[in-house]
Amino acid sequence: MPKPQARPVPAAEARPPSHLFYLSSLRRPLVDRAEGIYFWTKDGRRFIDGSSGPMVANIGHSNRNVLDAMKRQMDKTTFAYRLHFENEPAEELARQLARKLPEGMDRIFFVSGGSEATESCIKLARQWAVATGQPKRWKVIARFPSYHGGTLGSLAVTGDDALAETFTPLMQVMPTVPAPAAWRDRDNLSMEQRGIRYADMLEEKIVAEGPESVLAFIMEPIGGAATAALVAPDSYYPRIREICDRYGILLIHDEVMSGAGRTGKFLGGDHWNCRPDIVALSKGLGSGYAPLGALAAPMRLVEPLLASGGFQHGHTYAGNPLACAAGLAVLSEMDRLDLIANAAAMGDVLIGELRGLAKRFPFMADVRGKGLLLGVEMVADPETLKPIDQTRRATQRLLDLAYARGLIIYGRKVKGGVDGDNFMVAPPMIITREQIGEMISIIGDSLEALAAELDLPVEG
């Protein structure tokens, strides 16, 4: 039996053993600094942040105005507990957010991350049901695949077998419906008919579960890592709203990744004028400057909770002045630099370039997304959609090939965490055309190398 290999650490980076542990034991270069769309490591390498980390750094790194706003806040106070004091940054951020959200979504509850945000949405929904005399409603239907977070509550509504399996006995696992991967379907229906069919699967599930037991439906309006930026046919969105209304079920939009401007609108759901009941936000809201998340809901949902003693939920750091000052400055930079418009315009350029690459590399079977939240699904055979042999680890190989060339892109298995290859390109919203050109050239080289390694089809 071969001896286990030591973890590879390039000589130039020889470092003491790490006490940290994560999902993978892979060592990475030590980061030195970041600016705009770039990172520099201690050993002098430069990386393009082609995925904004995990789709976080929406306004780019080291924005001077955000740093200055945070420093000004730090000189006053970094922490004031919300049960002891109100603070101006939290008040003002809630006000600004309410202005950007769909009409009536004007009650805000701050948290420190995405899992806290989605879990808070679920708890708000449940407490609302109890407070309004509907205590039998508790099931939250989710989509499969999907990602809503890593805490037990948010994991219970996450459609990802690889992540959930070990923890299933600890959770109340919730019912799921298929995510609307209509592009894969081989039938005679139009895309719009397929959109209706996927939405109707929610109604079938509600009926099967017993409508009186169903509390909410949670979905990412534009998919995140679990589906590589999956977008449903247009017909899906209004039909989902209709179905939720018919059965008195709350519609929760998880905009943790798709929100805060990344897709070319403030919310992903704004592309369809969606009217969710509750919205979860995080990632781009703090843009990596501070851990920040939020849930937004209308007064009609919040009022019954307040009347019954308040929201029975909270986290110590929620609404702290430093994170909120960062969030406020992030929103202000987004407006000052017109970044949402830039995300829409540069998203068009980037998706066009990726579709160009797909002509050369037909194993890029679907290129999709909105604005700067874009994903590419890869298959062995574009005709039959036969997946790439999983032992070849195509996604990870491509990510490694790009990383070795100085570009960070993102990817996770798109079939419930166990199968399916893809990559996601989601650079900061400040990106320029020239920088997109630089990224595309590295992606092209990396795909070329991947195709050669795995014997994937290449045109011309």
Could you say whether residue 54 binds ligand PLP (CB under 6 A)?
A: yes
The length of the chain in residues reads: 460
Binding mask 389-428 for ligand PLP (x = CB under 6 A): ----------------------------------------
Minimum distance, C-beta of residue 147 to ligand PLP, in the bound complex (Å): 5
Which residues fall within 8 angstroms of residue 112, CB to CB, at 6 or more apart?
291, 292, 293, 315, 317, 318, 323
Q: What one-character DSSP code corresponds to residue 144? A: E
The type of residue at 381 is D
Q: Looking at beta carbons only, is 149 or 387 nearer to ligand PLP?
A: 149
Could you say whether residue 149 binds ligand PLP (CB under 6 A)?
A: yes
Could you say whether residue 347 binds ligand PLP (CB under 6 A)?
A: no
Could you say whether residue 262 binds ligand PLP (CB under 6 A)?
A: no
Q: Which residue in 58, 120, 235, 282 binds ligand PLP (CB under 6 A)?
A: 282
Q: Which residue in 118, 120, 127, 435 binds ligand PLP (CB under 6 A)?
A: 118
Could you say whether residue 256 binds ligand PLP (CB under 6 A)?
A: yes
Could you say whether residue 53 binds ligand PLP (CB under 6 A)?
A: no
Q: 392-429 b/e with 16+ CB inside 10 Å = b?
A: bebbebbbebbbeeebbbbbbbbbbbeebbbbbbbbbb
- In this structure, the strands spanning 46-49 and 38-41 are antiparallel
Q: Which residue in 113, 145, 321, 327 binds ligand PLP (CB under 6 A)?
A: 113
101, 298 contact by CB (below 8 A): no
Minimum distance, C-beta of residue 63 to ligand PLP, in the bound complex (Å): 20
353, 431 contact by CB (below 8 A): no
Q: How far apart are CA 118 and CA 148, in angstroms?
A: 6
Could you say whether residue 231 binds ligand PLP (CB under 6 A)?
A: no
Q: How far apart are CA 316 and CA 312, in angstroms?
A: 13
Minimum distance, C-beta of residue 34 to ligand PLP, in the bound complex (Å): 19
Beta-carbon-side half-sphere exposure of residue 401 (alpha carbons within 13 Å): 21
Could you say whether residue 148 binds ligand PLP (CB under 6 A)?
A: yes
Q: Which residue in 51, 52, 73, 115 binds ligand PLP (CB under 6 A)?
A: 115
Stretch that binds ligand PLP, among 141-149, 166-174, 240-248, 418-426 (CB under 6 A): 141-149
Q: How far apart are CA 178 and CA 174, in angstroms?
A: 13
Q: Where are the beta strands (DSSP E) in 188-245?
A: 214-219
414, 423 contact by CB (below 8 A): no
Q: Looking at beta carbons only, is 150 or 304 nearer to ligand PLP?
A: 150
Minimum distance, C-beta of residue 276 to ligand PLP, in the bound complex (Å): 14
Stretch that binds ligand PLP, among 91-99, 219-227, 350-358, 379-387 (CB under 6 A): 219-227
Minimum distance, C-beta of residue 346 to ligand PLP, in the bound complex (Å): 21
Q: What is the torsional sign of CA 189, 191, 193, 194?
A: positive
Stretch that binds ligand PLP, among 114-122, 189-197, 211-219, 315-323 (CB under 6 A): 114-122
Q: Which residue in 224, 261, 319, 387 binds ligand PLP (CB under 6 A)?
A: 224
Q: How far apart are CA 109 and CA 301, in angstroms?
A: 13
Q: How many chain residues touch ligand PLP (CB under 6 A)?
A: 16
Minimum distance, C-beta of residue 332 to ligand PLP, in the bound complex (Å): 22
Q: How far apart are CA 35 and CA 63, in angstroms?
A: 7
Q: What is the torsional sign of CA 283, 416, 195, 382?
A: positive
Q: What one-character DSSP code corresponds to residue 258? A: T
Residue whose CB is nearest to ligand PLP in the complex, by number: 114
Minimum distance, C-beta of residue 228 to ligand PLP, in the bound complex (Å): 12
Q: Looking at beta carbons only, is 54 or 248 nearer to ligand PLP?
A: 54
- Catalog residues that contact ligand PLP under the rule CB under 6 A: 54, 113-115, 118, 147-150, 220, 224-225, 254, 256-257, 282
